[in-house]
C-alpha cells in the first residue's frame, strides 16, 4: 500500500452542490428508517462538514496467499453471486444502500471492479464492493493507490432486515476465495475506529489492524495523521 495522495478536488458549480444536497437527503431518509436519533446526529455532522470534520479510520489487511477458505453458509432463501454490470435492478439497490456510489457502480464493474452480492429473490440483502489500483476513501477524503497484487474493500453493507443471518461473514469468505483465485495476495479495508461490530467481524475473519488514520478539517485547513495499531493476536486460520 502506497502513500496517500491529495484528496480529489470538489466540484464547485451549482449542479454539484444540488447533487450533494440530494445525496445528503437520501442518506438522511435511509438512516432515519434505521435509527431516527442516529439520523439526526449524522445529519448534524454532515451539515458541519463544510467547516469542520474529524474522522478516525482504522485500516486493516487480510493476507490471502494460498489459503483455503471455508464455503460460505447461508439460509436456503438466500443466494450468493458475483454482480454483473448489466444487472440494473440490483445495481440500483446497491446504490440505494451506499449513496456515495450512486451512478458509478455499473461503470466500475465494467472497468474490472467486483461486487459480491447476497439476494433473496430479486431483493438485495447485502454486498461487498472491491476495487483495485486507485481507491477513493470518502471518510478520509483521499485516494490511495494499491499494488497490482492487492485490493481494497470499498464498501460492505447488509440491509437492516437481513442482519444477524451471517451475511457479512459469507460475503467476506466469498470475496477471499474470488480474490485468491485471481492471484490477489492482500485485501485491505477499514472502518471508523468506533464501529465495533465491523471491527469485531474483521478480526474474527483474520484481518490484521494496521493503523488509525485521523482526518481533520477546520475551515480550509486539512490534515491527516497516521498512528500504527499495537499488534493483536491473530484469529485461528488467518
Residues 104-147: tens digit of each pLDDT: 999 999 999 999 999 999 999 999 999 999 999 999 999 999 99
The secondary element (H helix, E strand) that includes residue 55 is strand 52-63
Task: Give mean pLDDT, residues 50-77.
Answer: 90
164 in the same domain as 125: yes
Residue 237 in domain: no
89 in the same domain as 69: yes
Task: Give mean pLDDT, residues 194-201.
Answer: 94
Bigger pLDDT: 44 or 162? 162
216 in the same domain as 125: yes
Residue % of the chain over a pLDDT of 70: 76
218 in the same domain as 133: yes
Quote the number of domains for the chain: 2
Query: CA of 75: how far to CAs of 82, 126, 170, in Å?
Result: 18, 14, 11
pLDDT class for 65, splitting at 50, 70, 90? confident
What's the pLDDT score for residue 39?
45
What's the pLDDT score for residue 154?
96
155 in the same domain as 57: yes
Residue 73 in domain: yes
pLDDT class for 231, splitting at 50, 70, 90? confident
What's the pLDDT score for residue 128?
98
204 in the same domain as 154: yes
β 142-145/4-5 pair status = antiparallel
Query: Cα 148–153–157 angle (5° rounding)?
Result: 160
58 in the same domain as 46: no
27 in the same domain as 69: no
Task: Give mean pLDDT, residues 169-184.
Answer: 96
Query: CA of 2: how far to CAs of 84, 110, 133, 141, 150, in Å?
Result: 30, 25, 10, 16, 11
Task: Give mean pLDDT, residues 46-53.
Answer: 66
Q: Which domain holds residue 19?
A: 10-50
What's the pLDDT score for residue 219?
87
Q: Grid coordinates standing for 181?
A: 483465485
What's the pLDDT score for residue 6?
44
Q: Quick check: 157 pLDDT over 90?
A: yes
**Following DSSP, what letter does each residue of 187-207 receive, concatenated?**
EEEEEETT-HHHHHHHHHTT-
Q: Quick check: 41 pLDDT over 80?
A: no
210 in the same domain as 137: yes
Q: What is the pLDDT of residues 2-23, one digit of tens each?
A: 444 444 544 445 665 565 456 5
Amino acid at each position: 500500500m502506497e502513500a496517500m495522495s491529495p484528496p480529489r478536488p470538489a466540484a464547485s458549480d451549482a449542479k454539484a452542490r444540488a447533487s450533494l444536497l440530494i445525496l445528503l437527503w437520501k442518506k438522511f431518509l435511509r438512516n432515519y428508517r434505521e435509527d431516527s436519533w442516529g439520523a439526526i446526529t449524522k445529519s448534524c455532522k454532515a451539515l458541519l462538514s463544510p467547516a469542520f470534520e474529524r474522522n478516525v479510520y482504522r485500516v486493516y489487511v487480510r493476507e490471502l496467499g494460498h489459503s483455503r477458505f471455508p464455503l460460505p453458509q447461508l439460509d436456503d432463501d438466500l443466494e450468493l453471486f458475483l454482480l454483473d454490470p448489466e444487472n440494473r435492478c440490483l445495481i440500483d439497490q446497491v446504490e440505494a444502500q451506499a449513496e456515495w456510489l450512486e451512478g458509478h457502480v455499473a461503470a466500475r464493474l465494467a472497468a474490472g471492479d467486483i461486487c459480491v452480492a447476497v439476494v433473496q429473490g430479486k431483493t438485495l440483502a447485502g454486498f461487498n464492493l472491491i476495487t483495485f489500483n486507485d481507491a477513493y476513501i470518502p471518510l478520509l477524503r483521499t485516494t490511495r493507490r494499491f499494488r497490482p497484487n492487492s485490493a481494497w474493500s470499498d464498501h460492505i453493507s447488509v440491509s437492516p432486515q437481513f442482519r444477524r443471518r451471517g451475511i457479512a461473514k459469507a460475503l467476506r469468505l466469498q470475496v477471499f476465495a474470488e480474490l485468491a483465485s485471481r492471484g490477489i495476495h492482500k485485501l485491505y479495508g477499514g472502518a471508523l475506529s468506533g464501529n465495533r461490530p465491523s471491527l469485531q467481524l474483521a478480526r474474527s475473519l483474520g484481518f490484521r489492524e494496521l493503523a488509525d488514520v485521523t482526518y481533520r478539517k477546520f475551515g480550509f485547513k486539512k490534515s491527516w495523521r497516521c498512528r500504527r495499531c499495537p499488534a493483536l493476536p491473530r484469529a485461528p486460520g488467518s
